[in-house]
Amino acid sequence: MTSTIAPVEERRNFGIGLLLFSQLFFATLDTSAKYLAFIGLPLTQIVFVRYAIHVALAIALFLPLQRGLFVTRNWKLQLLRGLCLLGVTAANFLAMRFLPLTVTGALMFTMPLMVTALSGPFLGEHIGWRRWAAVGAGFVGILIIVRPGTEAFHPASLLCLAGALSAAFYSIITRKLAGVDSAATQQVYSGLIALVCITPFAFNDWVWPTEGAGWFAFVAIGVAGMIAHQLNTIAHRYAPPSTLAPFSYTELLLLALASWLIFNEPPDAWFYLGAPIIMGSGIYIWFRERQLRRPTTIEPVED
């Protein structure tokens, strides 16, 4: 079967649904990474395993179905996308060694604000004051959770913010590649580029897991990563990143649950105050998107 590039479509509810489903796998990815660090695996090895399994699965699944799997119409964007993804992974995995999952997750969720700011100059989208206000409210919720002056402002928090910026550019580039290269081609290139970059540093202090939970995390980190990014890539065919980004907040609740049950780091009262604000901003934007799609004889001036 030859490569067939699906065009970009405006089916925003479907894109949002795919994005929400991907968050379960992203939470599994982050939890597995923290657990591997917890049992003593080096950072470079964790990143290597995450992408080695990702690439192996992607090639095994997609190569028989797509003859032109390695053919890209824009190799420069593919290279940039892969480097952005590696930046997100390395920054986030390193920060997890020092901060709870709820804190790293919350700081990473400054990404929607960054995506909204970048969607104008890079994608030509008009973001009206209502969506700016909703994303801003979500950012306030994040500040409530991390609280300036607490452990969230450990120097590792700066790594999370750098990772969030990389994630914002990754989201923008994914949207630009929608309809240019297939989702399968994008997944192979993003993982392969990251794998090539990390491989020279991965085998210096190799450590194998010694118990069942460690082996589960060892495998799950790559499998969950491939599935999560495949769903995320497909979602961007149906909705722009400024629409999808706020719904990634649902991962924060999943990370809070994992932090509590697996690492015995339960969220505090501030998390329960900030999380509903974050979720509320995403729900508002969903309703706003539905309102903008209603038939009307007058083109809306602001959104």
- Distance from C-alpha of 236 to C-alpha of 224, rounded to nearest angstrom: 18
pLDDT of res. 149 = 65
Query: Do 89 and 21 contact (CB within 8 A), yes or no?
Result: no
Q: What is the model's pTM?
A: 0.79
The one-character DSSP state at 181 is B
pLDDT of res. 300 = 32
Q: Which residues contact residue 260 at a Cβ distance below 8 angstroms, ignoring those fewer than 6 apart?
A: 266, 267
Query: Do 192 and 82 contact (CB within 8 A), yes or no?
Result: yes
List per-block mean pLDDT (blocks of 10 residues) for the chain, which spans 303 residues. 52 87 93 94 95 91 87 91 93 91 83 73 74 83 75 77 89 82 85 94 91 94 88 82 73 89 86 82 71 44 39
